[in-house]
Amino acid sequence: MSIIALLTDYGLKDHYVGTIKGVIKTINPKVEIIDISHNIELGNVLAANFLLVQSFKFFPINTIFISIVDPDVGSKCEPILIQTKNYYFIGRNNGVFSQVLENEIIEKIIVLDNDNYFLKPISNTFHGRDIFAPIAAYLSKGINPKEFGKEINSNYLFNLPLPKPLIKEDVIEGNIIYVDSFGNLITNIHKNILKNELSKYIIKINNIEIKGICSTFSDVRAKDIVCYIGSSQYLEIASNFDNLDKKNPDLKNQKIIVIYKVD
């Protein structure tokens, strides 16, 4: 028994997610379906990347991920299936898997152009139901990926990499790449590019200056702003007992400057 994990911007108000699950279960009653999120900001491919990067390695080997975030509904980005050493990824060729693939070994990329495995009639606006769900379900039943279409080279993948921080000696200039539902701001500054003495860093964002990277929220007083290495492995900025993004909604659009202070 395998797992199909779903990540979409469909929301949870309509029937869309339920319908996709019905399609999958009709084709393969034995496969298990797990939701990662259906509340990605509409069309935000970078947010979809972040959520998938943060979650996929925690799923069992051979999990099939469907990620549907489609800023340009009905556009011509082909539907693709990417098989890596450990997982399968199904979605549109719009960069939605770029960041996952930075750390995965690609084994095969298939353009999903064999409509024998599609639901008919194919709508123009709900490929989640008509293409992605049935392909994932047939794949979970053991159909060979080659059956779904022609193989392509990874050069054909639309690439939307994580913006890299600028590093100049002891100064790092980063960006906010995701805001979670607690209002915590997650940056693109990975802990691996920081030195061990975290207390020696000074963090500047807008006109805010924070001294030292803490272990966790409770290292600062209530309502104070705190910098810490998040469960994401990236530097995060938050307000203890508070929603930093709601309190200061402009912060997420600002550069973040991290300075290592030599004594």
Residues contributing to the site for its own copies (CB under 8 A): 1, 3, 5, 7, 10-19, 21-23, 25-26, 29, 32-40, 42-43, 51-52, 54-56, 58-60, 63, 71-76, 123-126, 129-130, 180-182, 215-219, 228-231, 240-241
Element (DSSP H or E) covering residue 100:
helix 98-101
In whole angstroms, the minimum distance from the beta carbon of 263 to its own copies comes to 26
Q: Is 156 exposed, middle or buried (0-12, 13-18, 19+ CB in 10 A)?
A: exposed
Determine contact, residues 209/202, Cβ cutoff 8 Å. yes
In whole angstroms, the minimum distance from the beta carbon of 85 to its own copies comes to 16
- Cα-based distances in Å from 176 to 64, 121, 237: 29, 42, 9
In whole angstroms, the minimum distance from the beta carbon of 111 to its own copies comes to 19
Q: Is 24 exposed, middle or buried (0-12, 13-18, 19+ CB in 10 A)?
A: buried
User: Would you say 104 or 173 has its CB closer to its own copies?
Assistant: 104
Locus of tokens 């392509």: 152
Determine contact, residues 23/122, Cβ cutoff 8 Å. no
User: Would you say 109 or 189 has its CB closer to its own copies?
Assistant: 189
Task: State the Cα–Cα distance between residues 221 and 1, nearest whole angstrom.
Answer: 48
In whole angstroms, the minimum distance from the beta carbon of 69 to its own copies comes to 13
Two tokens, residue 95: 């960069």
Q: Which residues contact 116 (CB under 8 A, 6 or more apart)?
A: none
Closest-CA residue to 177 (of 190, 168, 167): 190
